[in-house]
Structure 1
Amino acid sequence: MKKVAIIPARGGSKRIPRKNLKLFCGIPIIAYSIRLALQCEIFDMVVVSSDDEEILDLSKKYGAHLAIKRSEALSGDNVATLPVIANVISTLQLKSKDMVCCIYPTAPLLETQYILEGFKLLQERSDKNYAFSAVEFDSSPFRGFCIQDEVLTLLFPQYQLFRSQDLRKVYHDAGGFYWGYAQSFLEERRIFEKDSIPVILPRMLVQDIDTLDDWNLAEIKYKIKYA
């Protein structure tokens, strides 16, 4: 059984131009994910998939074993992650029970122990397809509301009088990693289903990086973490 880390890294990014190459605390942000995969010391291969030659060259510089040029059809703004990972699996001709870990290129706060935990959990549960990183919502969505035409509408009015500590905990995808069997990715089985195992991360290790404000917050967290 092979264990392969795949880092999908497009060259295009609308809100943060050249995001996957942008320096994060002095180092290209994708380098953190490559180093993280190597530090896990369980992967037979660390692979970067990109449509961008600069990303491919940089990935090799930082230790990726293989950098695969992605087709134009898999490089658009609306292309999901699953078909990209499936394409790499097909290119590498992995077997159905080989284990694959998709690690996003913008996860500089992620730690090896959680990737290893996901691997262990998936190995122990043969009935599951995936193990992925998750985190608890900062504020309960049960207290959420929408505003339309200056009118406030509660999403869950039945919980209006509940104390926050009495509301159920709710989690969401942390956008860090997704362990799965090669066959699960090839069949593009949905990740956020009952056949998946969440690995809960501390909030300090999670930060969506979609805007420059997000980027700055992630750098602040990183500097606090390694102060």
Structure 2
Amino acid sequence: MKISIIPARGGSKRIPRKNIRNFAGKPMIAHAIQIARESQLFDHIIVSTDDIEIAAIARQWGACTPFERPAELANDFAGTTEVIAHGTEWAIAQGWKLEAVCCLYATTPFVEVDDLVAGWKALKSDKWFYSFAVTEFASPIFRSFQQTKEGGVKMFFPEHFSKRSQDLPTALHDAGQFYWGLPQAWLEQKRLFERHSIPVFIPRDRVVDIDTEEDWRQAELMWDVMQRRNKTK
């Protein structure tokens, strides 16, 4: 059995109610639920929430909300791994024979069915604990710098100053979309960014971390561009 758990707490601070705010004509979380359903990968699609309104909307769009997320897992400091571990424990307590658990973020309108399928195939391709969505940094991180207290700049990796961009290693970052994992990996809360995890590459033009109003506007612009692109295909 494979299940998807969508974390969606009610206390988002920087974008209030972002999990159910309207995005492209429907609540944001509806996009994630619909893709999970369209993929036909999951026996159950669960939304883990502490919020009555989010739970009701999730059920309207075809997910189930069989438990209320505990308060200690719904604050600003609770990590994703802890939340998915809680949902995994609940599922096992029901007698479900879990093969894999996929954490799918609620604010991921650009995830496609093929991405989830690729993640599942990657997870079972070898003895991996996790597979998850990644993308490349837009600029080489090895040529990055910070501003000093005096107002100037200082490189993080000064040893790479004279190297050409094409000679630097390709750096990846979490796309913040989905994380397939073995049940035991979630239960033991193993770290994601380790050698036991395999990356699933997502194009940069489908990746945005929606944490601020600026991020939200960027996502809306990306959506409009993608819709126009799809119409011309």
Instruction: Judge same fold: TM > 0.5, yes or no.
Output: yes
What CA distance in whole angstroms lies between the structure 2 residues aligned with 1:32 and 1:128? 28
Point out where structure 1 has 5 or more consecutive residues left out of the alignment.
Answer: none
SS in 1 for 2:163: coil
SS in 1 for 2:175: strand
SS in 2 for 1:30: helix
What CA distance in whole angstroms lies between the structure 2 residues aligned with 1:168 and 1:95? 43
What CA distance in whole angstroms lies between the structure 2 residues aligned with 1:76 and 1:98? 29
Counterpart position of 1:161: 162
Residue 123 (structure 1) shift:
1.2
Counterpart position of 1:190: 191
- Are the counterparts in 2 of residues 135 and 201 from structure 1 also a CA contact under 8 Å? yes
Structure 1 stretches of 4+ moved >3 Å: 94-97
The one-letter amino acid paired with 1:124 is S
Task: Summarize the alignment of residues 82-161 of structure 1 with structure 2, pairs less than 5 Å apart.
Answer: 82-93=81-92, 98-125=99-126, 127-149=127-149, 150-161=151-162
Normalized per residue, which structure has more strand?
Answer: 1
What CA distance in whole angstroms lies between the structure 2 residues aligned with 1:97 and 1:34? 20
Residue 96 (structure 1) shift:
7.4
- What is the aligned residue count? 225
Residue 122 (structure 1) shift:
1.1
Counterpart position of 1:78: 77
Counterpart position of 1:205: 206
- Are the counterparts in 2 of residues 97 and 183 from structure 1 also a CA contact under 8 Å? no
- Are the counterparts in 1 of residues 123 and 131 from structure 2 also a CA contact under 8 Å? yes
Point out where structure 2 has 5 or more consecutive residues left out of the alignment.
Answer: 229-233
Going from structure 1 to structure 2, the CA distance change for 1:13 and 1:65 (only over 3 Å counts) comes to: closer
The one-letter amino acid paired with 1:153 is K
- Are the counterparts in 2 of residues 136 and 171 from structure 1 also a CA contact under 8 Å? yes
Counterpart position of 1:226: 227
The one-letter amino acid paired with 2:14 is R
What CA distance in whole angstroms lies between the structure 2 residues aligned with 1:66 and 1:13? 19
Is 1:177 matched up with 2:184? no
The one-letter amino acid paired with 1:43 is F
Residue 166 (structure 1) shift:
2.0
What CA distance in whole angstroms lies between the structure 1 residues aligned with 2:191 and 2:116? 20
Residue 204 (structure 1) shift:
1.1
String of CA shifts for 1:151-172, please: whole Å, max 9, x gaps: 3111111111122222211000
Going from structure 1 to structure 2, the CA distance change for 1:145 and 1:89 (only over 3 Å counts) comes to: same
Superposed CA RMSD:
1.2
The one-letter amino acid paired with 1:128 is W
What CA distance in whole angstroms lies between the structure 2 residues aligned with 1:178 and 1:156? 30
Counterpart position of 1:63: 62
Task: Summarize the alignment of residues 1-80 of structure 1 with structure 2, pairs less than 5 Å apart.
Answer: 2-80=1-79
What CA distance in whole angstroms lies between the structure 2 residues aligned with 1:21 and 1:65? 15
What CA distance in whole angstroms lies between the structure 2 residues aligned with 1:185 and 1:163? 40
What CA distance in whole angstroms lies between the structure 1 residues aligned with 2:96 and 2:41? 17
- The normalised TM-score by structure 2 is 0.93
Residue 65 (structure 1) shift:
3.2
SS in 1 for 2:19: helix
Residue 5 (structure 1) shift:
0.5
SS in 2 for 1:217: helix
- Are the counterparts in 2 of residues 96 and 183 from structure 1 also a CA contact under 8 Å? no
- Are the counterparts in 2 of residues 9 and 48 from structure 1 also a CA contact under 8 Å? yes
Counterpart position of 2:231: none
